Structure 1
Amino acid sequence: MADTIIKVDLSQSPYQNDMVHNRWHPDIPMVAWVKPGDEFIVETYDWTGGFIKNNDSADDVRDINLTIVHFLSGPIGVKGAEPGDLLVVDILDIGAKKDSEWGFNGFFSKNNGGGFLTEHYPHAQKSIWDFSGMFTRSRHVPGVKFPGLIHPGLIGCLPDPKLLKTWNDREIPFIDSQPDRIPPLGNKPFAETAHLGALKGEKKAKAAAEAARTVPPREHGGNCDIKDLSRGSRVYFPVYVPGGGLSMGDLHFSQGDGEITFCGAIEMAGWLHLRVEVLKDGVAKYGIKNPIFKPSPIKPRYDDYLIFEGISVDEQGKQHYLDVHVAYRQACLNAIEYLKKFGYSGAQAYSILGTAPVEGHISGVVDIPNACATLWLPTAIFDFDINPSSAGPSRHIDGSVQMPISPDI
């Protein structure tokens, strides 16, 4: 049996747990050390540290202070790992904590976080998803059932001082170029809510002022939200500091490609069973700039999809040049409009795309001026037939069932 080297108590604030942190900084102390070849188990909070509750109100999604996230377990040092090496991480198994077999999905208020489709869904909303073995259903989104592909939305190694400076030097001026933008262009360091594990006192105060927020993916990995990074996956992370400093969290029970709802996927608390190895000088040997990985051999298998296209022309009819972000947004909006014909609200349809194992593809980036992106929606997740027919769509969803919504006060 592998030892659990990091434990979390879901009844306790993550700020009281020195084996957890919510920023990236090279001075965060290692909370445990392992050797190459070791197997171990790590427990994690959900990314909000338990702020979002299993209830029928979206007030918590509306009111959350987003500067507190993400809460990560770690960093873990691997003996012998040095800058320039590759840290090899095998995800042997992953699951929900026994005392928390549920997850949540939501949309942030446009005034507090926003998101991919915030202009269409500006108010905070939430859906709760209950787990039954490998499957999930939601009392707020009827008519769908699908298996989970549990994965860490966020996993990576600590940056060194040079890499941290690179992040701040490129991100802070970019954010400052449009300071009033909603959603903002990024998230600057914010010392007041920083939790740096066991780092305390003056050292913590100095580090908190420059520590990077965990929101975006970067060269070290981080918040990549790759749904195929599940049990059986192997990841190769560049090492920047002695020991590597592996941290992880933001577990998802299931997610559609893109995690388009932002408070996205089905967020959960859980655990990971890992094994680590070290490839000496692997960064130079293989020309690695960002992590690479081998996907899980286990995934939900569907053989029938409805595929929605989108092109790089936005909702106002404005032409964009080969913009895959705009094209994928249009594919998602097209799928939402389609699902509304079967009785779903727009919010329920949006939640399905963020939680179910839908696939997103960049289908064309050469035919100027329009990029083409596609969203692949598996038809078998529904309790009814959603394929087009001569009879037309029938309303299968009870319109009295809605997702909780909390307009801004």
Structure 2
Amino acid sequence: MPELIFPLDSSRSFEDQQLVGHNRWHPEIPPVATVRPGDTFRVHCREWFDGAIVNDDSAEDVLNAPLRTVHKLSGPFAVEGARPGDLLVVDILDVGPIPQEDSGPLAGQGWGYTGIFARTNGGGFLTDRFPDAYKAIWDFRGQTATSRHVPEVSFTGIVHPGLMGTAPSAQLLARWNEREGALIATDPDRVPPLALPPEPQDALLGGVPDSDVDRVAGEAARTAPPRENGGNQDIKNLTKGTRVFYPVFVDGANFSVGDLHFSQGDGEITFCGAIEMGGFIDFHVDVIKGGMETYGVSENAIFLPGNTDPQYSEWISFSGTSVTLDGEQRYLDAQLSYQRACLHAVDYLTKFGYSPEQAYLLLGAAPIEGRFSGVVDIPNSCATVYIPTAIFDFDVRPSAAGPHQVDRGMGAPHAAA
């Protein structure tokens, strides 16, 4: 086993550990450990809410989820010799649930969860259709996930970290806050908000000195969106075997990781659309000196996907175009097209007896594929969503015999916003 440089004790909260991570981005958050180029090491991660979501049949915890506290990130880890302008090379050697703990109160101890977040507390990709909170618990058996809340499906997990990234420079952080603040100002009362400004309350800043905490907390960026440093990209294909090239903005790169997922569909469409869990991840790191200029990687990470994805060969697919539900034509709106494709898939699955919420939770958690299939033919873009047929315990294809009817069981727990 690689050297464990960030251990977590499952009996203690994230803030009460030997080493304390962070939940904001700021260049002054000091590294908790230093590694060398060429090193291999293991990191433990806590799921993004640190145990606030529990294994039960209620969605009240999702309704009241403490969004200001996320994400609970392990790190930062400095890489010796890394300097601004370099590329940090990160190889994912292995990733999985909490080691040797197949039962317990924390997500990752034999189970994980997916949530539809209420419009008033985070929202989601289809929040206009699904404004309330719902939850699904998924049980792990090896690499397979099943749920008492979404019956008659099972699938192989596509285990990956939702969030990895390097620390921003002071200049880059200021640019984030300026541009996102300007966006918020265009509609400051929008629900859900257009962006998340710095929030000092519940800021976890690792080893920042007490004398600097108030200032840093007022400047530090929330971890919710992806940005130039990588961050919360939620790319389901960053699995075992992946290599990522991150731009370096500060000395040491100060790399952090968290938000592990047992599985996820493209887009993580319910906002908490993955199967959230705590666990471990093994890394190998290296540095390409001057790589940002050499390869033109100035404001994005590039990656080579992993080679351990589940191999599904048959799919049922749904398309959508850039026309709103009330018939308004939009010009080449690819995101709207993907929303419509997902809604068409939801509507189709309800014909087999699933509730719309069960279908939506499934699309967030299962390894569906989303594609922008046509973005040039004015005025309609076309997006498609592909669902593996093998995840169902029945034939999900249209047939003359009509749709099989599932026993939806207890259904997905619901909490009204």
Q: Same fold (TM over 0.5)?
A: yes
Partner of 1:284: 293
- DSSP-derived class of the 1:21 partner: coil
State the partner residue of 2:365: 355
Deviating 4+ runs (over 4 angstroms)? none
Confirm or deny that 1:147 pairs with 2:156: yes
* Aligned match of 1:299: 309
One-letter code aligned to 2:382: C
CA distance in 1, matches of 2:305, 2:363: 21
SS in 1 for 2:198: coil
2:386 paired with 1:376: yes
Aligned to 1:241: 250
Identify the residue that residue 194 of structure 1 maps to in structure 2. Answer: 203
- 1:174 deviation in Å? 0.7
8 Å CA contact 1:154, 1:225 repeated in 2: yes
2:7 aligned partner: 7
User: Where do 1:112-191 residues align within 5 Å?
Assistant: 112-191=121-200
Q: C-alpha displacement at 1:276, in angstroms?
A: 0.3
Of 331, 340, 358, which residue of structure 1 is paired with 2:341? Answer: 331
Q: d(CA) in 2 for partners of 1:172 and 1:12?
A: 36
Query: What one-letter code is carried by the residue in structure 1 that aligns with 2:169?
Result: D
**TM-score normalised over the length of structure 1:** 0.98
TM-fit CA distance, 1:112: 1.1
Q: Which one-letter code corresponds to 1:87 in the other structure?
A: L
Paired residues, what number? 407
Distance in 2 of aligned mates of 1:200 and 1:46? 26
**Structure 2 counterpart of 1:229, from 235, 238, 249:** 238
Which residue identity does 2:8 align to in structure 1?
V
Deviation at 1:246, TM superposition (A): 0.5
Instruction: Kindly provide the amino acid, as one letter, of the partner of residue 8 in structure 1.
Output: L
Could you tell me how far 1:200 is from its partner in structure 2? 3.2
Identity %: 53
Aligned to 1:16: 16
In 2: Cα distance, 1:69 partner to 1:200 partner: 21
Report Cα offsets for 1:159-212 as digits up to 9, x if no partner: 010100110010012112111111110100000110001113121111000100
Which AA in structure 1 matches 2:4?
T
- Shift, 1:8, TM fit: 1.6
Query: What is the alpha-carbon distance in structure 1 between the residues aligned to residue 239 and residue 225 of structure 2?
Result: 20
1:344 corresponds to which residue? 354
- Corresponding residue for residue 273 of structure 1: 282
Residue matched to 1:389: 399
2:265 to 228, 252, 256: 256
* Contact 1:328-1:374 within 8 A present in 2 as well: yes
Partner residue of 1:318? Answer: 328
**What is the deviation of 1:275?**
0.4
Preserved contact between residue 84 and residue 249 of structure 2 (Cα < 8 Å): yes
Distance 1:263 1:196, change over 3 A: same
Deviation at 1:394, TM superposition (A): 2.4
Confirm or deny: 8 A CA contact 1:94 1:273 kept in the other structure: yes
Q: Matches of 2:96 and 2:245 in 1, distance apart?
A: 22
Whole-angstrom distance in 2 between the partners of 1:346 and 1:25: 40
What is the Cα deviation at residue 156 of structure 1?
A: 0.3
**Any residues of structure 2 matched to 1:54-65 within 5 Å, and which?**
54-65=55-66
CA RMSD between the two structures:
0.9
Question: TM-score if structure 2 supplies the norm length?
Answer: 0.96
Deviation at 1:280, TM superposition (A): 0.3
Q: Which moved more, 1:284-293 or 1:194-203?
A: 194-203
Aligned counterparts of 1:71 and 1:399: Cα–Cα separation in 2:
34
**1:51: how far off?**
0.9
Q: Which residue of 1 aligns with 2:40?
A: 39
User: Aligned partners of 1:330, 1:221: CA distance in 2, in Å?
Assistant: 28
